[in-house]
Amino acid sequence: MIEVTVDLGDRTYPVLVGAGARHHLLEVLPIGVRRAVVVTQANIDWPVDPGIEHKVCLIDDGEEAKHLGTVEDLCRDWAQWGLTRNDVVVAVGGGVVTDTAGFAAAIYHRGVRFVSVPTTLLGQVDAAIGGKTGVNLPEGKNLVGAFWQPSAVLCDVETLGTLPPREYRSGLGEMAKYAFLGVDGLRDLPLDEAVAACVRCKADVVAEDEREGARRAVLNYGHTLAHALETAGHYDLRHGEAVAIGLIYAAEVANRLGRISANRVAEHRAVVGAYDLPMTLPPGLDPDGLVALFSRDKKAVDGVTFVLDGPNGVEPVRVDDTALLRDTLEVLR
């Protein structure tokens, strides 16, 4: 078992990575908890046993479940069962489950402890790590949320063996991102070590900038276009697939701004292509609609902001040239 520490002072917590990690749940529950609520989905066939009195709450499948109505339903179920701040929420599933259940835990009784057990590659390398919880609005992705760190994260790589190929490949989109954040040789590592390497990178960034005041924004590399595509809602893309396209788009934008060379753009295409991820925009593209959505991104506090590669590495950059952004979309058709 590989253990990675997310160092946040008195809120420091472990991330266990390896086959069978979910069986360590009782060991990582906060001291003194009496009862647990397990939040999961009906299609997730990875039961966990908290080892204490517990109740299972199911949420609907798919990204469509990640909304405020689901959060209200969870909180009302918990209140009716009598969940208190001495208890714990256990989220078992992909990013939809860990994001939604984590946000509900953050606001119920003004905060109850929770443990994440991500069962998808995307969840294990990214979504369940770092304490960013939240849900979507019709106007955009993850616009309502809270920073609420888990007490522990259990990344059981056994759960990845049953993922549908496209779901697994979606996780590779987030993994590809880490290749540009300083994690080398991911494709050559055993799966548990590759997951742990991504977790370690994210843990280092989160420890330095927990609330995305500066450096943590680099973890959104490739996500500005990705979130616009997902918000638009009529493109057949999984999150990691949208991130992969977003990585190529960000590289092309950076090249047109003179931040990186054509060779560096080619490196992006090589990494994304090696994971068999999409690099072109889906059919039915609405360039003006996507550019308009860029301004709704969480990073857009002072104009449209992208995370772009450059001479100092990946960093947030304000981009005011909407014509450049639109013309670059045409390159990815």
Query: 113, 141, 169, 216: which one is catalytic?
Result: 216
User: Quick check: is 298 catalytic?
Assistant: no
- C-alpha to C-alpha distance for 210 and 218, rounded to whole angstroms: 12
Query: 66, 113, 200, 212: which one is catalytic?
Result: 212
Query: 177, 238, 239, 268: which one is catalytic?
Result: 239
- Strand partners for 132: 147
User: Quick check: is 216 catalytic?
Assistant: yes
User: Quick check: is 296 catalytic?
Assistant: no
Query: 113, 141, 223, 299: which one is catalytic?
Result: 223
Query: 227, 268, 298, 299: which one is catalytic?
Result: 227
- C-alpha to C-alpha distance for 48 and 228, rounded to whole angstroms: 35
User: Quick check: is 67 catalytic?
Assistant: no
User: Quick check: is 174 catalytic?
Assistant: yes
User: Quick check: is 169 catalytic?
Assistant: no
Query: 66, 169, 200, 202: which one is catalytic?
Result: 202
User: Quick check: is 330 catalytic?
Assistant: no
Query: 174, 210, 230, 252: which one is catalytic?
Result: 174
Query: 132, 141, 268, 299: which one is catalytic?
Result: 132
Query: 22, 66, 142, 220: which one is catalytic?
Result: 220
User: Quick check: is 220 catalytic?
Assistant: yes
Q: Which residues are catalytic?
A: 110, 132, 174, 202, 212, 216, 220, 223, 227, 239
